[in-house]
Structure formats: C-alpha cells, structure tokens
Amino acid sequence: MSKAKASTKLLPFDAARYLTDDAAVAEYMTAVLETDDPDLLLLALGDVARARGMAQVAKDAGLGRESLYKALAPGAKPRFDTVLKVARALGVRLSLDDAGRAASFAALRVLPLDELKIDVTFVHGLGKSATDAALVRGMIDIGHALGLEVVAEGVETRNAWSVLAEWGCDYAQGFYVASPRRSDELIEWLGASWPAVA
C-alpha cells in the first residue's frame, strides 16, 4: 500500500495581511526606516497602501491608481514629491528632530515638515541658562510661525513643564511625563491617572 503525499503550495509572504491597525503599521514603518534603505521604504509604503486599500490611498494622495502602482513597484524611482504624497495619504508625519543643533534649521527651508522637536540640551537649560531659555522660546515661536507643532524633548522637571506650557509648546516628552516603557505597560499606564502631569 502506498502512502499518498500531500502537496501544499506555499504563498509568498505578504506583509499587508498583517498590517491590520495603526500600531502594526507604526511598528513596521519604524523597523523599515531604521534600515535606511530607500528601496525597502518604497516596498513598505506599498505594503501599507495595499493594507489600507490602493484606491483610497491613490485618491488621498491625489494620484491615479495606476500611477500609485507604478510609483511603488519594485525598482521604481519615484520623485520625492510623489513619495511624500503617498506617505501623507498614509498618515506619515515628518518631524525635524534635535532642532537647534548645527544645521537643523536649514531643513525648515526645504522640507515639508509637520513638527519641530527641540533638542534636549536646550530644554535641560531651562531655569539655569537665560540663553537656553531664549533659544527654546524662539524655537517654539519659529515652529508656530511656520505652522508646525512643537515638541520639547527631555522634559524632566516641573519647572521645565510649566515654562513650556506657558510659552505654548504643544507637546513634551521626557521622564517628567513618563519613563520609557513597553507597549503593554504603556496601555496600562494610559488607563491610570497621570500623577506627574496633573
């Protein structure tokens, strides 16, 4: 008696099948961006676009569906403005990190940013240095004048929190708000009260 062999056809892996919510998309895109590989970025944008629905993404990006497929095809070399339209249609935001360092302000002139993040070295100077205070306040004003949201990095004291709030800083990140934590711990923390920032 011979045994029948079962044959199974393996399907190619499709990341789009697993990108079912914003958290999965964010984690996927973060991992891809860390590779610094532009071809992988285009592939990932295509995966996310397929997960969200190509027709809707094309519409939101102001592109024809065929143009979207061509822009995200393997080996494609789309223009930066096309990639930016697709990224924005997918909800990707651009942030100028470490504002105030070296040539970071040159980026304000040429990149279509959404957010300016003030470098921790200036925020730590609040309450200690009049120069740092003037620079932080100036960066908040510049960010708002350009229509950007402003984030202060490294907020570790009530004084820094209060000063930034008074000056109209939109967001703060740092140990005063919360220490870094795993996603499951973050969900639990968000369900509890915020004693440090109340």
The tens digit of pLDDT for each residue in 160-173 reads 999 999 999 999 99
Q: How far apart are CA 122 and CA 38, in angstroms?
A: 32
pLDDT band at 5 (very low <50, low <70, confident <90, very high): low
What digits encode the pLDDT tens for the residues 71-126?
Answer: 998 888 999 889 989 999 998 888 777 777 655 677 787 788 899 999 999 999 99
pLDDT at residue number 198:
44
Structure-block tokens of residue 176: 């005063």
- Characterize 69-85 residue by residue with b for buried, 16 or more Cβ atoms within 10 angstroms of its Cβ, and e for exposed: bebbeeeeebeeebbbb
Question: Which residue segments constitute the domains of the chain, with CATH numbers given?
Answer: 15-89 (no CATH), 95-191 (3.20.20.450)
Q: pTM score > 0.85 for this model?
A: no
Residue 144 has pLDDT above 90, yes or no: yes
Q: How far apart are CA 28 and CA 19, in angstroms?
A: 8
Q: How far apart are CA 138 and CA 136, in angstroms?
A: 5
Mean pLDDT of the chain: 86
Task: Say if CB 168 and CB 142 are below 8 A apart.
Answer: no
Residues in contact with 169: Cβ distance below 8 Å, sequence separation at least 6, in sequence order: 118, 140, 150, 151, 152
